[in-house]
A = this chain, B = another copy of it.
Amino acid sequence: MAANRLYRKMSGGVTAPMGFKASGVRAGIKHSRPDLALIFSEMPARTTAIYTQNVVKGEHIAVCRKHLADNKCQAVVVNSGCANACVGPQGAKDAITMTKLAGRAMGIPHEDVLVCSTGTIGIRLPMAKIRAGVAAAAKTLEAGGGRAAAKAIMTTDTYHKEYALELNLGGRKVRIGGMAKGSGMIEPNMATMLAFITTDANVSASALSMCLKQAAEQSFNRVSVDGDQSCNDTVILMANGAAGTPLLTSRHSDWKKFSEAVQKVCHELAVMLIKDGEGATKFVKVSVHNARSNDEARAAARAIANSLLVKTSWFGGDPNWGRIIDAAGYSGAFFDSRKTDITFNGVAAVRNGQRSRGVSLKTLEKIYRKKEIAIDVNLKAGKGSHFVFTCDCSFDYVRINSEYMT
């Protein structure tokens, strides 16, 4: 991660950059919480997006793809409480209608409006409520509306998630802001969530696309709450150029700086997703080193992060490293367990495949009582490495997900 001198954290989220407005309202899709958000740019913004790899897809995704054929948009309308997935042909029509309602309310072509939905699968959007909600959201758009929007996209999230920073590009300040929602169905490869990132920098379409892919690979694609990958995951990055900086391409000397700043915003949002994972009481970074390949390192890190036995041992504060080495063992990664080292927050728990002498169970238990645990697994089988951010599995995870209504 880049050093602080490259960028400076600021308050706010998607409306921190110039030229963006947002709002969040109660449309009535959910009982009594805000459930409809708008993001609006005063001028068309170059825009790129990435989507879930689930073969089952929410209806908004096809609409986003179509409306982004020209790599630009000017607004995004988002609802929570209903995924608009698996509802038959009406779902696609409803998604398009949402863009039309939003476009009309803001006076822009509906092809410049993107749409996202999150919530329960299999129920139809209540279009009368959406209609009224979009109108209300358009009326309440404001330059400080980022927080209201961040609240309106929440589902089982316990707090809204925003992050913003500013940096200098060619002598001028530009800002990057973002918001995201979790918090179940979180798994790498377009982790289950929505995230919206805005910037007032002026960036070429291809540079923007490359930038988001790289940033997601280091952030959203490395988080896992429960191993379930949603059918609605979407990340959208909009660059409206309002800061007046010259066009940034990937050949520009400032490219790396900008790219790292976008990555920083994505990283912070991804970490918030995990910390607010359903029922999460612990934040864990699982790193696998020296696997035969990066792919095998990824497989091992994900197997460990998604192992129910490992997750419950984190919750219980039981430093049961046997479950960790076992999960690596069935991940598909190949290694000789007699050589494996494992550390917890840098303290050796396992050396060459067995309990580390001289490190007491008490010491390991003390580490496992911390809120943040770093687990490093050295397979000594090659040069591949990968890390994943994840959380434990608690009683509350089971409670939240067994009570959550269809």
Interface residues of chain A, those whose CB is within 8 Å of chain B, are 53-57, 83, 85-88, 120-123, 184-185, 187, 226-231, 306-309, 312-313, 315-323, 325-330, 333-335, 337-338, 350, 352-355, 361, 393-395, 397-399, 401-406
Q: Quick one: given A320-B404, A334-B55, A354-B88, are A326 and B395 in contact (CB under 8 Å)? A: no
Q: Given the complex of chains A and B, what is the CA–CA distance between A319 and B306 in angstroms?
A: 24
Q: Are B394 and A398 interface neighbours, CB within 8 A?
A: yes
A323–B227 Cα distance when bound, in Å, is 12
Are A228 and B353 in contact, with the CB atoms below 8 A?
Answer: no
Contact of A56 among B53, B337, B402 (CB under 8 A): B337
| Inter-chain contacts of A313 with B (CB < 8 A) | 401-402, 404
Having A227-B306, A228-B307, one finds 13 other A-B pairs with CB under 8 Å, namely A54-B329, A55-B333, A56-B325, A56-B329, A86-B355, A228-B308, A231-B329, A313-B401, A313-B404, A318-B405, A394-B398, A394-B402, A395-B395
In contact, B353 and A86 (Cβ under 8 angstroms): yes
Least Cβ–Cβ distance between A212 and chain B, in angstroms: 21
Q: Which B residues are CB-close (under 8 A) to A335?
A: 55
Q: Are B226 and A330 in contact (CB under 8 A)?
A: no
Residues of B within 8 A of A185 (CB): 309, 326
- Measured CB to CB, the nearest residue on chain B to A229 is B330
A322 B401 Cβ-Cβ under 8 A: no
Chain B residue nearest in CB terms to A401: B312
Residues on B with beta carbons closer than 8 Å to the beta carbon of A333: 55
Question: Contacts of A57 on B, CB cut-off 8 Å?
Answer: 329, 337
Identical copies of this chain, number: 2
Residue on B with the closest CB to A333? B55
Closest to A381 in B: B55
Tell me the nearest residue of chain B to A185, going by C-beta: B309
Is the beta-carbon distance between A393 and B404 smaller than 8 angstroms? no
Note all chain B residues with C-beta closer than 8 A to A404. Answer: 313, 316, 318, 320
Evaluate contact between A316 and B401: CB separation under 8 angstroms. yes
Contact flag A54-B326 (CB < 8 Å), given A88-B352, A309-B184, A355-B122: yes
CA distance A306 to B404 in the complex (A): 18
Cβ B120 vs Cβ A308 within 8 A = no
Contact between B187 and A330, CB atoms less than 8 A apart = yes
Which residues of chain B are near A317, meaning CB under 8 Å? 402
Q: Sort A-B residue pairs by CB-CB distance and give the 10 closest, nearest first.
A: A121-B322, A316-B402, A56-B329, A312-B401, A229-B330, A54-B329, A56-B337, A88-B354, A226-B308, A312-B402
A155 to B279, CA, bound (A): 28
In whole angstroms, what is the CA distance A388 to B393 when docked? 24
What are some 14 contacts across the A-B interface (CB < 8 A)? A55-B329, A55-B337, A56-B325, A56-B329, A56-B337, A83-B322, A87-B355, A187-B330, A229-B330, A308-B308, A313-B402, A315-B402, A316-B404, A321-B406
Residues in B with CB closer than 8 Å to A329 are 54-57, 229, 231
Would you call A312 and B398 a contact (CB within 8 A)? yes
Q: Which residues of B contact A361 (CB under 8 A)?
A: 406
A87 to B228, CA, bound (A): 34
CB-nearest residue of chain B to A320 = B406
Given A326-B54, A397-B308, A353 contacting B88 (CB threshold 8 A) = yes
- Chain B residue with minimal CB distance to A189? B330
Question: Is there contact, CB below 8 Å, between A307 and B86?
Answer: no
Query: In the complex, what's the smallest C-beta–C-beta distance from A278 to chain B, in angstroms?
Result: 9
User: Given A309-B185, A337-B55, A325 and B121 touching (CB < 8 A)?
Assistant: yes
Given contacts A187-B330, A330-B53, contact A399 B395 (CB under 8 A): yes
